[in-house]
Amino acid sequence: MSGTGDDAVPPLGIRAAQSFDIAVLARLHAEAFDPEWGQDEIASLLAMPGAFGLLALSAETPVGFLIARVAAGEAEILSLGVVPLRRRHGVGRMLLDAALAAAAADGAERVFLEVAEDNTAALALYAAAGFQPVGRRPGYYRRPGAPNAAAVLLERALRALPESVA
């Protein structure tokens, strides 16, 4: 079989997000999160010193994104999202691995992020990538029409980043 049937999944690629991608990043964020971040918010984040964005592409179609920043030897994953139809297909892990490699290349020794305590898929992704819980913020995520959720603060050292990730 050549894998060219209708159920074949096109290969994924990761590229750096550019200023012309802000509308795409906002659309992807809206597909992944409620409330979403608008174009102005994403543009402001990417304008911060040390900030960068990544796009995951499947046959040139954006299917995921990651926004992060690096400063003073530390990195922070600000947002990572994957469109619903491509979740649990390795897109998030590819984005995360690329971001960890980029942060390490920029001199980060540790990376931090926060995730909703009820986001079991994201918690599993981050645990598999070596992140450990280091704190909790009660009621951090405000959700329209639903109870607020606590944020779990996660951390991972980058010193021992495997060669295969770089």
Domain of residue 137 covers 12-157
pLDDT at res. 2: 42
Backbone angles phi, psi at 127, to 5 degrees: -65, -45
pLDDT at res. 154: 97
pLDDT at res. 163: 52
- Dist. CA 65–CA 56, nearest whole Å: 6
Q: How many domains does the chain have?
A: 1
- Name residues of the chain where pLDDT drops below 70: 1-10, 160-166
pLDDT at res. 36: 77
Domain assignment present for residue 16? The answer is yes
CATH number of the domain to which 80 belongs: 3.40.630.30
Domain assignment present for residue 166? The answer is no
Tell me which residue of 113, 39, 117 sits closest to 80, measured CA to CA: 113
Between strands 74-82 and 61-71, the pairing is antiparallel
pLDDT at res. 17: 93
Q: How far apart are the first and last CA of the chain?
A: 32
Structure-token pair, residue 58: 């499947």
pLDDT at res. 7: 55
Question: Quick check: 136 and 117 in contact, CB under 8 A?
Answer: yes
Domain assignment present for residue 82? The answer is yes
pLDDT at res. 166: 45
Burial of 11 (0-12, 13-18, 19+ CB in 10 A): exposed
